[in-house]
Structure 1
Amino acid sequence: MSVVGIEAMNVFGGTARIGVIELMDHRGLDTKRADNLLMVERSVALPQEDPISFAVNAAKPLIDALSPAERDRIELLITCSESGIDFGKSMSTYVHHYLGLNRNCRLFELKQACYSGTAGFQMAVNFILSQTSPGAKALVIATDIARAVLPEGVELSMLRNSEWGYAEPSSGAGAVALLVSDTPRVFQVDVGANGYYGYEVMDTCRPVPDGDVGDSDLSLMSYLDCCENAYLEYAKRVDGADYASTFQYLVFHTPFGGMVKGAHRTLMRKLSKADRQSIENDFNTRVMPGLDYCQRVGNIMGATVFLSLASTIDRGDYSSARRLGCFSYGSGCCSEFFSGVVQPASQQLLAQQRIDDGLNQRVLLNVEEYDQLMIANRPVRFGVRDLTLDPHGDRYIGAMAKPRPLLYLSQVAGFHRKYEWVA
């Protein structure tokens, strides 16, 4: 059987962050509900940050680690996002340019809400398995942003005690880059072990470029429905699959931790007839390792399931090979359950990216600074034609301990975006 999977991966969680409890208290929300959110902090996008800068900053260390010959074998670049900056031009073209990749490369973008990253990953996996270009590599970058912007005509005081406020603490910004090849040093896919499930539902959507609408209860029901049925389809295709024993760790798309905990509890009750304490113990052992980074970045839509995968690899015990079960969900909806194997050396390789250090180095904002950013972000909303920014003089960018130069938006000229590297 052909071998395929993730050769290398990296997470970029932005420049700034804010504590969830502080934000909830500032908005006049019930902080006791934070126990259900299972959130600690969230990334906050600066005006100079967008899905393109996030994507490039996530992928750059992977590209820099390749030899020129290996770099030239990247023949497919897919950006996966529901935060595109243009209805026609793909963000992949910008990413390709700033990474300096070979021009003999397919460039395009995928959209299917939070499922987009998995869609791009599975497309890359099948490109490698096809062997139409033996030895080729694919770069898949899931990049998304929930930009904190104060709408025109809305005062900051109007955000207090708003039901919308409970979505604000779990919304994130960032990107995960995956180098997919036939040398899966980080995550080897179980080829053919996939269960997918989808149908039309209006749980959440973005009918306008800068606004989300949805039904939170319907979204929860759709997530739970898809989690169960995607796994059941997986079990039909994989002989002997057992939710409770086949996977040493479980990786979930994580809108917020409480949603994952509910889905896991439901499957353990239905499929394994487990009691309450057994479910709690199992959640702490097999699921919690994957929530750590999600609790610190927030929901980055198409990238979140791979943020959870990175967290699971960094936080798990890999004294021997472990099989991971992964559930991906995107509103609207489409979902998939797939699996793969992580080796002891995989954890060591991912550790070289120092993802934890990158998250710690983000500037911690107070609530007043966060509110001011909501106003400062107004000029960079979707469709801006001309704009000049100064990433070199920004106090937050300057305050971040950057281990390497990072890319930031500096100008929009006639809709054309231009970026600069800041050390």
Structure 2
Amino acid sequence: MKIGIDKLHFASSHLYVDMAELATARNEAPDKYLIGIGQSKMAVIPPSQDAVTLAANAAAPMLTAADIKAIDLLIVATESGVDNSKAAAIYVAKLLGLDRRLRTIEMKEACYAATAGVKLAQDHVHVHPEKKALVIGTDIARYGLHTPGEPTQGGGAMAMLISADPQVLALADDSVLLSQDVMDFWRPLYHTTALVDGKYSSNIYIDYFQDVFKTYLEEQQTTIEAFKALTFHLPYTKMGLKALRSVLPMATTTQQQALSTHFEHARQLNREVGNLYTGSLYLSLLSLLLTDPELMTDDLIGLFSYGSGAEGEFYTGRLQANYQQGLDLGLPQRLARRRRVSVTEYEMLFNGQLALNADDQTIACDDDPHRFVLTGQRHEQRQYQDREN
């Protein structure tokens, strides 16, 4: 029985800042961001969106009435949670109108947690093949204005429906895992932005990839030639390119070029959005599937998931014959319709997020076109609105 990703859908902001303009405002050469980091645009998340609304906006458009009836497991993976106790999944389930007979949990391990959710969902569907699981990676990457990490911010949510007989990607049971206590990235409870040792974190990322990838090849008694494409967690797209280049000498000259070409497709949409934390790997997968014309049924796709702190996993999936039917086909057009904001407006929106205090607050959301929005806080409870109800 095949189990895997049946549908993928993405949501982010309707706003972005141009990375060349941001570089100029920060007295940096534009190519430092455009080439050195590998980012062209960065999603600017308005105060009317948070991890909950992004998750609901990502999932709702792809779910049919039959999907909603079959879903009995909802996993929301995030490091941008809105409550230290109550799972974001509870809020998302209500907004989506999911059945009450539902297991709802929130998962956290930096950028890795969505992969843990996918693998748990895979096991769940294996035991209950008539059911479906919804996994959503949703985050807002914040490092602060005028910080070294600022150009690697962004935000959005990737929703994935896991089922038997999947339309998109049949997942294998061949994961290689690695977990160690590493202080490359963390956010203490008293911080609203992350702390990161950037160079150290980059080195750990590549070390983890080489470890799990080479171990996979040994355990499966295969070679890099078995893969049509390798996809990566992309906190910024140059990071994935560095990881890919670290193993390209294992391939023939012809396949080195092919893998590099496929990677360019796999980072195309991430270049336009920025860092998604938990959703980054899966936006890269969606980017590959939407933009690469050379993919074929049964192609083997490798997926490298990484979360600082640190945890990594490499696993694989086989492309299915009707994979296009499960994709968010309108995403490139939606990204093209976004509104460009100035650096000044971006800074204002960054500083205008819901304050972390007990006060009643109201958030203006008239300019936000999304179905689900955050309208404020009342009696220390976040107020969400579904504009279709």
TM-score category of the 2 structures, normalised to the smaller one: over 0.9
Task: Choose from 386, 393, 400 the match for 2:360.
Answer: 386
The CA deviation string for residues 113-150 of structure 1, in whole angstroms up to 9 with x for no partner, is 01011111111111112x1x340110000000024866
SS at match of 1:390: coil
Task: Choose from 298, 308, 312 the match for 2:284.
Answer: 308
Structure 2 match to 1:143? 138
Q: Which moved more, 1:136-145 or 1:208-217?
A: 208-217
Are 1:204 and 2:185 matched, yes or no? yes
Structure 2 match to 1:153? none
**8 Å Cα contact 2:77-2:138 kept in structure 1:** yes
TM-score (normalised: structure 2):
0.93
The CA deviation string for residues 146-200 of structure 1, in whole angstroms up to 9 with x for no partner, is 24866xxxxxxxx3xxxx24x212211100000101121011112x211111211
**Structure 2 residue identity aligned to 1:262:** K
Hey, what's the Cα distance between the residues in 2 that align with 1:386 and 1:183?
A: 47
Distance 1:421-1:147 versus aligned 2 partners, 3 A rule: farther
Offset, 1:321: 3.2
Hey, what's the Cα distance between the residues in 2 that align with 1:345 and 1:93?
A: 32
Hey, what's the Cα distance between the residues in 1 that align with 2:121 and 2:298?
A: 24
Offset, 1:387: 1.2
SS at match of 1:89: coil
Structure 2 match to 1:250? 230
**8 Å Cα contact 1:12-1:358 kept in structure 2:** no
Structure 1 match to 2:219? 237
Offset, 1:319: 4.2
**Structure 2 residue identity aligned to 1:47:** P
Hey, what's the Cα distance between the residues in 2 that align with 1:282 and 1:101?
A: 42
Offset, 1:351: 4.9
Offset, 1:384: 5.1
Offset, 1:298: 0.6
Hey, what's the Cα distance between the residues in 2 that align with 1:349 and 1:176?
A: 13
Distance 1:292-1:102 versus aligned 2 partners, 3 A rule: same
Percent identity between the aligned chains? 29
Hey, what's the Cα distance between the residues in 2 that align with 1:326 and 1:384?
A: 42
The CA deviation string for residues 182-219 of structure 1, in whole angstroms up to 9 with x for no partner, is 121011112x2111112111001111341211211110
SS at match of 2:187: strand
Offset, 1:278: 7.1
SS at match of 2:85: coil
Distance 1:320-1:374 versus aligned 2 partners, 3 A rule: closer
Structure 2 match to 1:48? 48
**8 Å Cα contact 2:133-2:163 kept in structure 1:** yes
Are 1:326 and 2:303 matched, yes or no? yes
Are 1:293 and 2:292 matched, yes or no? no
Hey, what's the Cα distance between the residues in 2 that align with 1:218 and 1:5?
A: 34
Task: Choose from 64, 77, 87 the match for 2:74.
Answer: 77
Are 1:340 and 2:330 matched, yes or no? no
SS at match of 1:97: helix
Task: Choose from 354, 375, 382 the match for 1:410.
Answer: 375
Hey, what's the Cα distance between the residues in 2 that align with 1:213 and 1:351?
A: 33
The CA deviation string for residues 67-103 of structure 1, in whole angstroms up to 9 with x for no partner, is 3xx4222110010011111110110000000000000
**8 Å Cα contact 2:361-2:376 kept in structure 1:** yes
Hey, what's the Cα distance between the residues in 2 that align with 1:172 and 1:329?
A: 17
SS at match of 2:79: coil
The CA deviation string for residues 245-292 of structure 1, in whole angstroms up to 9 with x for no partner, is 1111111001112111111111123x34x67x974x245322111101
SS at match of 1:193: coil
Offset, 1:372: 2.2
TM-score (normalised: structure 1):
0.86
Structure 2 match to 1:97? 94
Distance 1:189-1:9 versus aligned 2 partners, 3 A rule: same
Hey, what's the Cα distance between the residues in 2 that align with 1:265 and 1:249?
A: 13
Ranges in structure 2 where 5+ consecutive residues have no aligned partner: none
Offset, 1:320: 3.7
Hey, what's the Cα distance between the residues in 1 that align with 2:261 and 2:191?
A: 39
**8 Å Cα contact 2:42-2:154 kept in structure 1:** yes
Hey, what's the Cα distance between the residues in 1 that align with 2:344 and 2:229?
A: 39
**8 Å Cα contact 1:409-1:419 kept in structure 2:** yes
Hey, what's the Cα distance between the residues in 1 that align with 2:343 and 2:8?
A: 32
**8 Å Cα contact 1:318-1:343 kept in structure 2:** no
Are 1:363 and 2:339 matched, yes or no? yes
Distance 1:278-1:309 versus aligned 2 partners, 3 A rule: closer
The CA deviation string for residues 32-70 of structure 1, in whole angstroms up to 9 with x for no partner, is 31212111101111011101010000000122x233xx4
Hey, what's the Cα distance between the residues in 1 that align with 2:139 and 2:282?
A: 12
Hey, what's the Cα distance between the residues in 2 that align with 1:83 and 1:375?
A: 16
Hey, what's the Cα distance between the residues in 1 that align with 2:313 and 2:144?
A: 32
Ranges in structure 1 where 5+ consecutive residues have no aligned partner: 151-158
The CA deviation string for residues 320-347 of structure 1, in whole angstroms up to 9 with x for no partner, is 4321101000000000011101134202
Structure 1 match to 2:326? 349
Distance 1:342-1:196 versus aligned 2 partners, 3 A rule: same
Hey, what's the Cα distance between the residues in 1 that align with 2:211 and 2:43?
A: 32
Task: Choose from 265, 283, 307 the match for 2:245.
Answer: 265
**8 Å Cα contact 1:253-1:304 kept in structure 2:** yes
Offset, 1:3: 1.2
Hey, what's the Cα distance between the residues in 2 that align with 1:79 and 1:417?
A: 17
